[in-house]
Amino acid sequence: MEAKAHKHPNYVLVGIILILITIAEVSVIGLPVPQLPFLLGFSIAKAFLIVAYFMHLKSDSRLYALLFAYPWPLALLLVGILIWVYFGFRA
């Protein structure tokens, strides 16, 4: 089998960082601090590591990144509109 020399990121290290972030997420629960900013920050960091390193969007074709990026504003719009409509009608 023909082998090509590839330089890969340290995937195990990325995995360890993801698990450490998860431990930090769970540890925040119950602490007397505003939890939402921490939880959002931790989950965004985890999502970035997964997308950039495991899904290779950091190094792969920009076209894939664009394809994957375009529904996120739509999804956020959907979240915003639905929450606004629901709470708007309840108010």
Partner 1 sequence: MASHHPAAGSEIAVDSRKLGIWVFLASEVIFFASLIVAYLVLHNRVTSGPTVHKLSLTIPTINTMILLTSSVAMVLALAHLRDGNRRASIAWLLTTAWLGICFLILKGVEYSHHLHEGLTPSVNVFGSAYYAVTGFHAAHVAVGVIWILSVALGLRHRLSPQNDVPVEAAGLYWHFVDLVWVAIFVVVYLMR
Residues that bind partner 1 (CB under 8 A): 1-6, 8, 11-12, 14-15, 18-19, 22, 25-26, 28-29, 35-36, 39-40, 42-43, 46-47, 50-51, 53-55, 61, 63-64, 67-68, 70-72, 74-76, 78-79, 82-83, 86
Nearest distance from residue 68's CB to partner 1, in Å? 6
Number of H helices, E strands in the chain: 4, 0
Nearest distance from residue 35's CB to partner 1, in Å? 7
Cα angle value 23/65/19 (rounded, 5°) = 10
Could you tell me which of 38, 39, 46 has the C-alpha nearest to residue 20?
46
